[in-house]
A and B are shown apart, each in its own frame.
Chain A
């Protein structure tokens, strides 16, 4: 079975540019999570969707960040405008909900110059 698929795997862009990260969750999973991983702050939850609806976005750092889930098989995380401090690895994860474990994609390594 295909796991969580993220694209691109690597993104290098200049400060001020718009960045869009993409995620395809595991088919049948109704919960989707976006995380950010940095050396300083570790793994942080950015936003949680249930049945395509954003439920908890308290981890989104500021208005420059936005996330959408237009259907059950696709989600995006957008940063506009990007800043060097946004450099991190961004992970998408999905699950069946409840106490079921989250399954992670391989991440997008984002570098903002």
Chain B
């Protein structure tokens, strides 16, 4: 069965510092991987997706993630944090094994950015 583990339910960084949000997945077949961001009182917004093309995926707002099969990881990074990046981030995995894009979400990581 698929699963997603996000290490660290809360991450705090200074403005301008590197953002690193960790995601490890478990899947019996090549997965599709997604990162979503959720701002307060809003739905989830797609940041980026990996669908078996380039292993380094660039997304919106300066975020990127690297698919590492050997480590079953898909960590999200941003070189320099902005105050506006404060939100909750969700990693999700899907493999179409059920015939459709059924997303299994991690528990989420809340990112705080302080001045």
Contact = CB atoms under 8 A, between A and B. Distances in A.
B100 A48 contact: yes
Nearest to A48: B100
A50 B100 contact: yes
A101 B41 contact: no
A50 B100 CA distance: 9
A107 interface: yes
Given A55-B99, A109-B41, 14 more contacts: A31-B100, A42-B106, A42-B107, A45-B103, A48-B100, A56-B100, A56-B102, A95-B101, A97-B100, A99-B51, A101-B46, A101-B49, A102-B46, A104-B44
A42 B98 contact: no
A104 B102 contact: no
A88 B107 CA distance: 15
Give the bracket for the number of chain B residues in contact with chain A: 20 to 34
B17 interface: no
Interface string A92-111: 01010111111111110100
Interface residues of A, number: 24
A101 B48 CA distance: 9
Contacts, number: 55
Contact of B108 (A42, A50, A55, A99): A42
A109 B43 CA distance: 11
A107 B102 contact: no
Nearest to A49: B100
A25 to B, nearest CB: 13
B94 interface: yes
Contacts of A106: 41-43
Given A99-B94, A101-B49, A4 B43 contact: yes
Contact of A42 (B32, B94, B105): B105
Interface string A73-100: 0000000000000000001010101111
7 contacts: A31-B101, A42-B106, A43-B105, A45-B102, A97-B101, A98-B96, A102-B103
B67 interface: no
B7 to A, nearest CB: 15
